Amino acid sequence: MSQELVIHTAPLPAKPAALAIIYAAENAAPAGAGAALWAATGLDWDAVADAAAFKGKQGQVLDLIAPTGTGSQRLMVLGTGKAGLTPLSAWTDRGGSLLAKIAATRAATISVVLDGPDATPLAIAELAAGLRLRHYRFDKYKSVRAEEQAAANLTVTLHVENVAAAIAAIADRFAVVEGTLLARTLINEPANVLGPLEFTQRASELASLGVNIEVLSPEQMQALGMNSLLCVAQGSERPARMVIMRWSGGKPDEAPLAFVGKGVVFDTGGISIKPAASMEDMKGDMGGAAAVTGLMLALATRKAPVNVVGVIGIVENMPDGKAVRPGDIVRAMSGTTIEVINTDAEGRLVLADALWYTQDRFKPKFMVNLATLTGAIVVALGHDHAGLFSNDDTLAANLLNAGLTANEKLWRLPLGPAYDKLIESRFADIKNSAGRPGGSILAAQFLQRFVNGVPWAHLDIAGTAFGTAPTEINSSWASGFGVALLDRLVRDYYQN
């Protein structure tokens, strides 16, 4: 059993818990209710801060053990840096670093004093989100350690001015947090546990939230002409699925927004097999599909007033006697013929049919696809920005902004006819691989052949979905990148 986190909200002033947390800005004493709690210790702020060299810088901690008067065993003053405008994502980080500090003290009951003009309900919700996101662990396959068995649940009470507003803001924000955590778990799960059927099963569970679920079998995809997607699954014992998730929170006649995900549950490379080093990471090659699934959970949980469709193509890319070969030519659902030059460029083959199907059936306002598509994007951008490609400047601008707000950042890269020319094939209409220069752009150009002119953006999340350095809000291998970003996009630009 791992330790659980329980977050309560209560009015000020704080009742003493084992650990009390108050905040102080740079070169300032704690204010408001924090000041009252400090006053109970009977200590002189300036003298203590000076002795501890505490300046209130972001991340700095002043730690009082067994202070008299407060009723707590421990009082921590956390620095928040310079007073003034704090972006919301700084509050998320604050929550994450708070969780780490709480965990290190081993206290089981914690009260946090959050007042003052900066501590708006939205800011408090971000702090709570940060607590939960940082608390997440994927340790279900670790044999239980004795110390953990003994660990009590963490109960954190946030003492705030407006309890009702804080509760509402936290509930709304936690819809998205749960989506991010679902995406993380799907990515962290090993491929022996999460095959195409198991992924389909987990996505189908969103039905309980009012998401309409449809699952396409290989036979149905065959009948639709999805030979591009199906050829990737050909070498696997575990057949492909496509899952269509629909949330109808908007007006009945309004065109939906569409999100499309690459769901390669494991990418060996196929016959163009990958080298062994880090191949285990390819259990996360369904990160795009995981983000779309997490987004659908978020939108349905918060009952977003908008129509959205999520489409995920789920396959396993394996080498086998039946596997697709380099040189094979397949006809995609769109009618375009594709020469498979490299069976390891499989994500674009999956998305070709998923994108075409999505625009053909749903006539969406726009399509955004997410995919751990190319190693080249990791070379270009590292792990801090995902690649953005788009045929629509408004959609691209909205995505860039949403990324800044949600702190899941994007960087736009070009598309263009000169790149497009490079994917022409000697034998078929196009080929799926054309050498290393501009590898991420070529993959995006390939996808663009299947969007039929619909406003579209492609997010290459190969560097951001997993294997990122630990952050204040994530210590797990998978990040859940994309869920918060796309929820922001919908919230800020497209919902009623």
Catalytically active residues are 274, 348
CB of 326 to ligand BES, least distance (A): 10
Minimum CB distance to Mn ion smaller for 116 or for 270: 270
CA 380-438-365 angle, 5° bins: 90
Q: Which of these segments, 17-25, 191-199, 263-271, 330-338, binds Mn ion (CB under 5 A)?
A: 263-271
Minimum CB distance to ligand BES smaller for 120 or for 372: 372
CB of 288 to ligand BES, least distance (A): 10
Q: How far apart are CA 216 and CA 353, in angstroms?
A: 13
Q: Is residue 353 a contact point for ligand BES (CB under 6 A)?
A: no
Give the residue, chosen from 267, 316, 408, 487, that forms a contact with Zn ion under the rule CB under 5 A: 267
- State the SS3 of 205-267: HHHHHCCEEEEECHHHHHHHCCHHHHHHHCCCCCCCEEEEEEEECCCCCCCCEEEEEEEEEEE
- Show the site string, 362-391: x = touches ligand BES by CB under 6 A, - = not: ----------xxxxx-x-------------
CA 468-469-475 angle, 5° bins: 95
Cis previous bond, 252, omega within 30: no
Q: Which residue has the tokens 């102080």?
A: 24
Q: How far apart are CA 116 and CA 391, in angstroms?
A: 45
Q: Please report, as residue ranges, which positions from 347 to 376 form the binding site for Zn ion (by CB under 5 A).
A: 347
Q: Which of these segments, 34-42, 64-72, 344-352, 476-484, binds Mn ion (CB under 5 A)?
A: 344-352
Minimum CB distance to Zn ion smaller for 31 or for 459: 459
Q: Which of these segments, 113-121, 174-182, 267-275, 376-384, binds Zn ion (CB under 5 A)?
A: 267-275
User: Which residues are CB-contacts of 49 (< 8 A; sequence separation ≥ 6)?
Assistant: 29, 55, 56, 62
Q: Is residue 482 a contact point for Zn ion (CB under 5 A)?
A: no
Give the residue, chosen from 161, 189, 267, 408, that forms a contact with Mn ion under the rule CB under 5 A: 267
Q: How far apart are CA 489 and CA 470, in angstroms?
A: 25
List Cα–Cα distances, 328 to 50, 213, 256, 373, 390, in angstroms: 73, 33, 36, 21, 29
Q: Which of these segments, 66-74, 262-270, 307-315, 434-442, binds Mn ion (CB under 5 A)?
A: 262-270
Q: How far apart are CA 461 and CA 291, in angstroms?
A: 10
Give the residue, chosen from 339, 344, 353, 472, that forms a contact with Mn ion under the rule CB under 5 A: 344
Secondary structure letter of residue 4 according to DSSP: P
Q: Is residue 460 a contact point for Zn ion (CB under 5 A)?
A: no
Minimum CB distance to Mn ion smaller for 247 or for 266: 266
Cα dihedral 228, 230, 232, 237 in deg (nearest 10) = -170
Contacts with Mn ion by CB under 5 A lie at: 267, 344, 346
Q: Which residues bind Zn ion (CB under 5 A)?
A: 264, 267, 285, 347
